[in-house]
Structure 1
């Protein structure tokens, strides 16, 4: 394993320090510092930028040929770090501790070291890792914020107020879709220089806002959390599969949510995010789509089709079709067959 020591702040100097340790060069554009990982160590890049008010962002997008440990050991109070693992994994421990925290894809961690103790980040070999780190110099940040933090949870309030780093702090969870969207927007932003710096500064404050809201949501019981996490998208997709596979005899929405490990509010938010509709609307639309498919590709009766899509009332099926198409199921089938016959004759 290769270890490098970073004994500098702010983030521009951090990038310079890492570049020196890796025997490579860095570039600077409008106070954003970038180093490319040398081929002998792996591939990728690390970016760093500081803003007025105590905020800064480090962006790691790299893959190393051997385990790489970055030891942040500057002899002063270290920034408060909000770590987001977008891809791969990251291992973190405090300089004065042997306990290692494994931060995996879609996870986030809030870390603050005690006194002048630093942070040790370890990247595993041959693992492509993308990590965003929002860094806050609490002393500078507190001087900028004139209002108090009474609306913030007491532990978080104490954390921001601990400008002398009297206590260690560690909290981990899964980052929200709101934060995921911010990361995507940052990655896709193409402007450079002053416009990019201004944009990233805005995103830094937006990240902090969404993170505080996420932390408050993390304090709720699991069945009462509201914000959808990026990791929960897979569970939403599992709910979709249940709906489509079991449409004939579908469980109630709360039971489906329970089966995939979500509460109803979370599942509703997920459907709104992925499909811009409620769960009920998705079910109704899928039933209609399935009915159309069976009407055009089978000779099943309307009642039989109703059984296959979970609708036992023939009159209700007719109402649904009338509302959607302005015609009855039988007329829809007839019109479809006639149009297909005409098309075949035309192509002869």
Structure 2
């Protein structure tokens, strides 16, 4: 059975206070931070809010619920602009008067603005680890901060931030970047206290916000021309690396690898260039030669056997690559390794 909770959501602390009142528990307050823990009979974890200047705030949630929660934000209120980052299991969002239920997957971000007559609803599943980081921006208070920069913005963003009375509904979803993921971790893991903590966290919030705006503009590009690598793409690239490392003897071509990890060839190539400063083919070539060197040192295989073992069909080509990388022919290196082994045994 689900639990329905109504929240005011004018200030970020409203979420914590209303949550605590609904659950019949107390909340903690320290300077501009509020925190409520989920009672044991309903699950575990917490919801925490952070308030900064110019209407900027953060709501951080990390919990596991025993039953589905539905959060209904109250009508008649101009809710903050929400920039939501899902760090863990999937949850759902919709606007009350709309039929469409949007699933927010792990590593996706959402920019969402409701209207006073069509408010947010969040559906949080039971028995799933939920970890959400949300930037909350009161556009009326934030206007002073951003007004002089608006004319230089993308038209959609300019209209979004000028809509201080919440007249227009807005919804945008995509995967967020590795840089944003790292900044969120730095925010949530901060161990500073007092004034230094407040200044540090506010700075991180603005860094995250800046990168999100930069990413939004990058998302408008053709997918093959995007310059910012997404966190989800990185996981696919890491999967490609594992495939290369585990299947070096029989690894297919770039098109085959890209297909297996769910990326197009250009995205895979761009990802390897940004993460490893090399092409996919060069990465494969280097791993083959490094694996061959390990086999020369640790196995009883001969050079021809090692050549095929690392997926190279020509011994002369293998010798050329090995010498280029290590400055010595594989035959000479093998003799050197085995002579050293003989010397150590005789000693």
Return the TM-score normalized by structure 1. Answer: 0.88
5 Å matches for 1:142-161?
142-161=143-162
Q: Is structure 2 residue 212 aligned with structure 1 residue 198? A: no
Instruction: Give the corresponding residue for 2:232.
Output: 231
5 Å matches for 1:1-348?
1-73=2-74, 75-244=76-245, 247=248, 253=254, 256-257=257-258, 260-264=261-265, 266-271=267-272, 275=276, 277-298=278-299, 300-311=301-312, 314=315, 316-346=317-347
Cα separation, 2, equivalents of 1:43 and 1:238: 32
Structure 1 position 302, deviation (Å): 3.8
Cα separation, 2, equivalents of 1:305 and 1:65: 55
Cα separation, 1, equivalents of 2:342 and 2:298: 14
Q: CA RMSD in A?
A: 2.6
Cα separation, 2, equivalents of 1:3 and 1:225: 40
Cα separation, 1, equivalents of 2:47 and 2:247: 47
Return the TM-score normalized by structure 2. Answer: 0.88
Checking the alignment, whether the CA contact within 8 Å between 1:224 and 1:263 is kept in structure 2 is: no
Look up the SS of the partner of 2:228 in the other structure. coil
Q: Count how many residue pairs are aligned between Structure 1 and Structure 2.
A: 346
Cα separation, 2, equivalents of 1:276 and 1:38: 48
Checking the alignment, whether the CA contact within 8 Å between 2:82 and 2:113 is kept in structure 1 is: yes
Checking the alignment, whether the CA contact within 8 Å between 1:115 and 1:167 is kept in structure 2 is: no
Structure 1 position 239, deviation (Å): 2.3
| Structure 1, 139-148 or 310-319: larger mean CA deviation | 310-319
Cα separation, 1, equivalents of 2:178 and 2:20: 33
Look up the SS of the partner of 2:290 in the other structure. helix
Cα separation, 2, equivalents of 1:197 and 1:116: 34
Distance 1:211 1:8, change over 3 A: closer
| Structure 1, 98-107 or 19-28: larger mean CA deviation | 98-107
Checking the alignment, whether the CA contact within 8 Å between 2:269 and 2:279 is kept in structure 1 is: yes
| Structure 1, 257-266 or 76-85: larger mean CA deviation | 257-266
**CA deviation string 1:129-188 (max 9, x = no partner):** 001111111111122223243443322221111112111111111111121111222232
